[in-house]
Amino acid sequence: MQALIEGILKFQAEAFPVRSDLFKHLATTQHPGTLFITCSDSRVVPELLTQQEPGELFVIRNAGNIVPSYSPHPGGVSATVEYAVAVLGVTDIVICGHSDCGAMTAIAQCKCLDHLPAVSGWLQHSESAKVINESRTHANDAARLSSMVRENVIAQLANIQTHPSVRLAQEKGALNLHGWVYDIETGSVNALDSDQRSFKSLAEHPRTCAVRGKAAEAA
């Protein structure tokens, strides 16, 4: 806790004064352009990764960067997605997986999670990705995990499109979806090219990787 307290004092003394006008503006309003959905992993820091300022990202974090399909009993993720799209009017949603993901490792290695019933139940939302990943041949455990991370991003992109707010915004051409995988060791990000159903370096293909609604596709 001492490190956190010292960090707050440093923020108040050094970081806050530099951005005082920004925080004064943000005190009564927010207009983030992107909903960023990623893992709770402490090594993944959305604002650092994307170099965004406060107020620019609306963030959801949970184990495995999961978005449950829409249901009659929506939870916190569903409510946050709906608020971001229908109220804040975000124009982009990024679902970002990452290397060495503990949640995806548990799935890829079929680890017993009987002692973690809440985690086990939560990871059921990645079942479709698990089935697809297990149907393929992998060179080694590392390749199996890497594939699982990518398939999970694809699965969650499918899940989020079952949410009415997302589908309505896509049909209006007002919302694009993006699937990313962040490599912790190298800092690289690969993005899903939905047309080719493959991941490409975001640095090399910055504009080709988005999942668009019908109206956007026709435009």
Q: What does the pLDDT average to over 81-93?
A: 98
pTM exceeding the 0.85 threshold for the entire prediction: yes
Residue type, 215: A
Q: Is the pLDDT of residue 204 over 90?
A: no
pLDDT-based confidence at 209, cuts 50/70/90? Answer: low
pLDDT at 196: 72
Give how many domains the chain has, as a whole number.
2
Shared domain for 58 and 4, answered yes or no, is: no
Q: What does the pLDDT average to over 137-153?
A: 97
Shared domain for 12 and 76, answered yes or no, is: no
pLDDT at 142: 96
Q: Indicate the Cα dihedral angle 9, 10, 11, 17, nearest 10°.
A: 100
Shared domain for 175 and 105, answered yes or no, is: yes
Q: How far is the C-alpha of 138 from the C-alpha of 125, rounded, in Å?
A: 23
Shared domain for 16 and 116, answered yes or no, is: no
Q: Is the pLDDT of residue 216 over 60?
A: no
Shared domain for 1 and 67, answered yes or no, is: no
Q: Are 10 and 17 in contact (CB under 8 A)?
A: no
Full residue range of the structural domain in which residue 5 is found: 1-30
Q: What is the secondary structure of 30-63 as a DSSP string?
A: ---SEEEEEE--TT--HHHHHT--TTSEEEEEET
